[in-house]
Chains A and B, each alone.
Chain A
Amino acid sequence: MKRKKIITQKTAPYIFCAPFICSFLVFMLYPMINMIYTSFFKLEGINTYNFSGLDNYKRLASDTHISAAIFNSLGFTVGIIIVNIVLALLLAVLLNHKFTPLKNIFRSAIYIPALTSIIVAGIFFRLFFASNSDTPLNTLMQFIGMSPKEWLYDTKITGIVALVFTSTWRYLGTNVLYFLSALQTISPELYDAAHVDGASAWQRFRHVTLPGVKPILIFVITILTYGGLRMFGESYVLWPNSKTPGDIGLTIVLYIYRTAFGHFDMGYASAMSVVLFICLMVLNFIYIKTLGIGRKEEKR
């Protein structure tokens, strides 16, 4: 007698996919619904929540911390995009050039910071951006004729500079790797042909290199945008006790974290998360629409 198999070619895919389906329902869909529900409740007193309709969302509009946090997060995002794209692309081109010596050693050296946690980076950069006038950075400032700054306490802009620097230190190497992987797909014959046609170095970059890395360029801009808007660790570790006086260095996620786990106002924090979530999903949608996720892998 033939035993009937339960796992057949028909049922097997559902068994293979079960972990994702379970995890999606339990750790994604349910929390999402729960978050939206919680966002309609207002903290009154110490631990009582009352239904308050859209009050939390109205409060968002008038909260000055929010506008500061959005300013910082957006500033940080624009900062890391510009710095990372310019530096990473430049370094990748140099590291891909056939005359450049010791490529592998430089590549590893630039990449090593990506192995550290934000805590390790934070320890160093907190000292690096310290207010003393004799730090190397402030010495350099005086050298070029500017006054030393209390970077972490001066203005929101200097705070953003410190955040961008810390973050770039950790992620530059990874972005260089992306561009390197794209550059390696460009055929050297294209450069030779351009050379024969008498194209200058800039023209070769403009007409051969840039089109060749365009998919990765869009990809890197997208993950930087996305990573910038959700940034938390950098501002948590740069300011002592993660206090951000005058909202210098306060980011959106840090503010949500503080509201939820410092003031225990889960309702208001949920409302903020819902809005952030929608913004990121819109970005996500634009990303999928404009370049299609995964073109990077197909490119390789």
Chain B
Amino acid sequence: MIDKKKKQLYQIFVTFMLCIIAAISLIPFIYLIITSCVNDMSLVFKNGIALKITSDMLDIGNYKLLFTDNNGMFFSWFKNSGIITILFTVLSIGFSSMVGYGVSMYKFKGKQLLVVLILSTMMIPVETLMIPLYNEIKSFNLLNTHLGVVLPFAVSAFTIYFFMQYAQSLSPEFMDAARIDGCGEIRIFLTVMVPLMKPAFASMTILQATNAWNDFLWPLIVMSKNENFTLTVGLQTYLSPYGNNYNLLFAGAVLSVIPVMIIFFACQKLFMEGMIAGGIKG
């Protein structure tokens, strides 16, 4: 009896605590969604977060404005973010899985050195190399291009490491069996091993796509023309304290979160696993 009472007390207390934390996590979203429908943004600008919002202040005018403003500039940002995300994810997953598989499944000269290089570059941040990389991308004539944003980080040591770890759990006997059947090395990789690594591909795809979609610093450096901005870079230009860009800012911010949210709710389990595995980028 006492135990049962204790249990109930614990549950009430814990639920209360978790509700507070969950509220802190979710309130900014709810606030953004509601505020994005306020038509007179000067009120938000003046009163900030303390603004009492009443239902007669709301409509979807801001979203309409987003479609028409500057010839629908917002949607070219949306498109840029989409292209960069897809391009980055495909290149990154393709290359990294190749390298990860190659390093862990073969014995070859220089393997040790390669592993050390991969491990030690895993933690070199973009931030320290942004200046020379900017100069390099400039000399390649890749400023303001999608490739310029994608290429420097397409082969990420972290993703390679993840595939290395995963490939180690595969049995080399599959490879030998395929060799006896007369399979070439490339075909073994594509037709035998890639299907075996499916779970790794799934988590990494989700992780890399989210990272690419939300990336800020590097696109900010590479893209300098308005029509080439990604969503994060473009939205940031609305963050000026002057003028009434708040209408566009809030509506745009809400729309920018939607694609990631859809993927999240569609494959929550994979997402969580990918994030746990992908901690290093955190």
| A joins B in a complex | yes
Identify the A interface with B (CB < 8 A). Answer: 5, 7-10, 12-17, 19-24, 26-28, 30-32, 34-35, 38, 87, 91, 94-95, 97, 99-102, 105-128, 130, 132, 134-136, 139, 169, 171-175, 177-178, 181, 219-220, 223, 226-227, 230, 232-233, 236-237, 240-241, 253, 256-257, 260-261, 266, 269-270, 273, 276-277, 280-281, 284, 287-288, 293-294, 296-298, 300
Identify the B interface with A (CB < 8 A). Answer: 7, 10-11, 14-15, 17-18, 21-22, 24-26, 28-29, 31-32, 44, 47-50, 95, 98-99, 101-103, 105-106, 108, 111, 114, 117-125, 127-136, 151-155, 157, 160-162, 165, 179, 184-186, 189, 210, 213-217, 221, 231-232, 235-236, 239-241, 249-250, 253, 256-257, 260-261, 264, 268, 272, 275-277, 279-280, 282
A169, B25: Cβ atoms under 8 Å? yes
A59 to B101, CA, bound (A): 47
A260 to B44, CA, bound (A): 34
Q: Secondary structure of the B side of the interface?
A: helix
Please name the 8 residue pairs, one residue from A and one from B, whose CB atoms are nearest each other, closest first. A16-B102, A31-B132, A13-B106, A12-B185, A23-B155, A109-B22, A117-B214, A124-B28
A13, B253: Cβ atoms under 8 Å? no
Which residue in B48, B98, B152 is a CB contact (below 8 Å) of A135?
B48
In the assembled complex, which residues on chain B have CB atoms less than 8 Å from the CB atom of A177?
A: 272, 275-276
- State how many angstroms separate the Cβ of A11 from the closest Cβ of chain B: 8
In the assembled complex, which residues on chain B have CB atoms less than 8 Å from the CB atom of A169?
A: 24-25, 28
In the assembled complex, which residues on chain B have CB atoms less than 8 Å from the CB atom of A270?
A: 131-132
Task: List, sorted by A's number, 9 A–B pairs whose CB atoms are closer than 8 Å.
Answer: A23-B95, A115-B261, A117-B231, A119-B232, A135-B49, A227-B282, A230-B127, A240-B240, A253-B127
* A100-B15, A111-B275, A253-B127 given; 20 more Cβ-contact pairs under 8 Å: A7-B185, A16-B101, A19-B98, A94-B14, A97-B14, A113-B25, A116-B214, A120-B257, A121-B28, A127-B49, A132-B50, A136-B50, A169-B25, A220-B279, A232-B127, A236-B216, A257-B217, A270-B132, A280-B123, A300-B276
- Chain A, Cβ-Cβ closest to B265: A108
In the assembled complex, which residues on chain A have CB atoms less than 8 Å from the CB atom of B17?
A: 94
A110, B21: Cβ atoms under 8 Å? yes
Which residue in A13, A118, A277 is a CB contact (below 8 Å) of B111?
A13
- Chain A, Cβ-Cβ closest to B241: A240
- Chain B, Cβ-Cβ closest to A253: B127
- Chain A, Cβ-Cβ closest to B107: A13
In the assembled complex, which residues on chain A have CB atoms less than 8 Å from the CB atom of B98?
A: 16-17, 19
A126 to B246, CA, bound (A): 13
In the assembled complex, which residues on chain A have CB atoms less than 8 Å from the CB atom of B127?
A: 230, 232, 253, 256, 273, 276
- Chain A, Cβ-Cβ closest to B111: A13
A139 to B47, CA, bound (A): 14
- Chain B, Cβ-Cβ closest to A94: B14
- State how many angstroms separate the Cβ of B241 from the closest Cβ of chain A: 4
A293, B132: Cβ atoms under 8 Å? no
In the assembled complex, which residues on chain B have CB atoms less than 8 Å from the CB atom of A135?
A: 48-50
B128, A280: Cβ atoms under 8 Å? yes
In the assembled complex, which residues on chain B have CB atoms less than 8 Å from the CB atom of A236?
A: 216, 236
- State how many angstroms separate the Cβ of A91 from the closest Cβ of chain B: 7
Which residue in B15, B241, B256 is a CB contact (below 8 Å) of A117?
B256
B131, A296: Cβ atoms under 8 Å? no
In the complex with contacts A14-B108, A34-B132, A136-B49, A114-B22 CB distance below 8 A: no
B165, A297: Cβ atoms under 8 Å? yes
A20, B25: Cβ atoms under 8 Å? no
